[in-house]
């Protein structure tokens, strides 16, 4: 492609501005969807695999294996059944790994409320600022970076948990959480979650309760239990309950602590041998199921790739149709520019010059459309990727 040919082609395209812009936009729009889809799938697959690789062993109640994986690793969806806390305690007593229980049944402003232990911080390699600390006491909370940014909260602020069954008198009441830490942005589901201690999560879901100072004569409809020295309130209390040093000791749990529920159990095994032994022990128990995160994730991604194949086939058909349409436009353009072609021939244009000129113009339009398509795809990927991780 010589310099004079390129300059002549650019001048011709500049003369027909509307046609050039419309063709470039059409080519860009045709290419942006498959490019963006491929980029997003690669990005999400890398994030999902990184999460699964760092969490190889997950234990839960029998049921959907994919639901358990998504629930335990990405804090989405619900599990069919829970398991008892004693499963985690037995795993810890074996000395083969560190059990990290997960209790995920509550929410804060629609963000998942994850009850867990301080071992989770070390397991995920979360580094907190000097004046931040991981929640250990009742009603303390650590916010993911996305949650803190969205709700404009920082250490020292408070926020109430959501109430899903406001009129369930035997249920739980909203709890006022004090923010003790804001996690650094990590680009994983932790960014969009609120972390609390297991005790806090159990109180939020009604596994435990405290005794509130209310007037039983005026607020008789809020009373579950009234004794000489305290009054127990029901979930009909719509104002969030604040845990203070004065009432913290009044919070207690129902039944045997070993039987309190957890929705999933992550095992930080000590080496491959410890993981193999624990996996074998858990699989012998009929009331438990153990999943290998990467194996289960690959099965889920296989389904996604099948759906992507349909999108790819559709995109190919659209590209073929666009190519044929572009050829038709070029043919019609030659007809319209017939006088221009004859003029070029009369002033001594060599044989094949017109064909090379048209080819140069089409190449420039396709190249411009391709570059625009790439830029739009990159912008779409960055815009979507900055949002929460979708599931998955």
Token look-up 């000489």 returns 228
First-last CA distance in the chain: 48
pLDDT given at position 36: 84
In this structure, of 97-101, 196-200, 280-284, 341-345, the range with the lowest mean pLDDT score is 341-345
- The model's pLDDT over 353-385, given as tens digits with 9 standing for 90+, comes to 777 877 888 888 889 988 998 898 888 888 876
Say if residue 166's pLDDT is above 60: no
Q: pTM of the prediction?
A: 0.74
- Report the percentage of the chain scoring pLDDT > 70: 84
d(CA 376, CA 392): 24
Contact 290, 58 (CB under 8 A): yes
- Which two tokens mark 62? 């029998």
pLDDT given at position 315: 77
Q: Which of 92-101, 167-176, 202-211, 355-364 has the highest mean pLDDT?
A: 92-101
Contact 177, 140 (CB under 8 A): yes
pLDDT given at position 104: 94
Going from N- to C-terminal start, the domains of the chain cover 3-47+300-385, 83-262
CB atoms within 10 A of CB 351: 7
> Three-state DSSP class for 29?
helix
- Kindly list the distances between the CA atom of residue 93 and the CA atoms of 124, 288, 301, 338, in Å, as whole numbers in the listed order: 22, 18, 35, 88
- The model's pLDDT over 89-101, given as tens digits with 9 standing for 90+, comes to 988 888 888 999 9
Say if residue 234's pLDDT is above 60: no
- Report the percentage of the chain scoring pLDDT > 90: 26
For 99, residues 6+ apart whose C-beta sits below 8 A from its C-beta are 87, 88, 89, 91, 92, 119, 265, 266, 267, 268
For 64, residues 6+ apart whose C-beta sits below 8 A from its C-beta are 79, 80
Say if residue 130's pLDDT is above 50: yes
């Amino acid at each position: 492609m010589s310099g004079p040919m390129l300059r002549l082609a650019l001048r011709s395209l500049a003369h027909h501005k509307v046609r050039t812009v419309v063709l470039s936009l059409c080519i860009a729009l045709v290419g942006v969807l498959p490019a963006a889809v491929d980029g997003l799938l690669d990005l999400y697959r890398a994030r999902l695999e990184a999460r699964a690789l760092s969490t190889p062993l997950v234990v839960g109640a029998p049921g959907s294996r994919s639901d358990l994986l998504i629930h335990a690793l990405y804090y989405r969806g619900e599990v069919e059944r829970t398991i008892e806390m004693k499963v985690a305690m037995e795993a810890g007593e074996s000395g083969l790994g560190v059990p990290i229980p997960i209790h995920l049944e509550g929410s804060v402003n629609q963000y998942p409320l994850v009850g867990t232990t301080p071992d989770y911080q070390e397991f995920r390699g979360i580094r907190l600022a000097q004046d931040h600390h991981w929640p250990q006491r009742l009603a303390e909370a650590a916010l993911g970076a996305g949650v803190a940014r969205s709700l404009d909260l920082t250490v020292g602020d408070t926020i109430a948990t959501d109430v899903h069954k406001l009129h369930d008198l035997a249920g739980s009441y909203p709890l006022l959480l004090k923010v003790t830490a804001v996690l650094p942005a990590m680009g994983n589901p932790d960014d969009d979650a609120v972390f609390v201690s297991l005790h806090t999560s159990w109180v939020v879901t009604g596994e435990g309760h405290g005794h509130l100072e209310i007037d039983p004569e005026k607020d008789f409809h809020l009373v579950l239990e009234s004794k000489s020295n305290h009054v127990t309130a029901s979930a009909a209390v719509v104002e969030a309950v604040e845990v203070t040093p004065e009432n913290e000791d009044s919070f207690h749990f129902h039944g045997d602590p070993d039987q309190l529920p957890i929705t999933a159990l992550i095992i930080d095994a000590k080496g491959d041998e410890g993981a193999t032994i624990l996996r074998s022990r858990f699989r012998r128990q009929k009331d438990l199921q153990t999943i290998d995160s990467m194996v289960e994730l690959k099965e889920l991604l296989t389904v996604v790739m099948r759906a992507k194949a349909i999108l790819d086939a559709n995109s190919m058909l659209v590209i073929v149709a666009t190519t044929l349409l572009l050829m038709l436009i070029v043919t019609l353009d030659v007809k319209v520019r017939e006088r221009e072609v004859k003029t070029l021939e009369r002033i001594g244009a060599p044989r094949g010059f017109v064909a090379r000129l048209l080819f140069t113009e089409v190449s420039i339009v396709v190249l411009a459309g391709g570059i625009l398509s790439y830029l739009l795809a990159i912008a779409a990927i960055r815009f979507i990727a900055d949002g929460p991780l979708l599931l998955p």
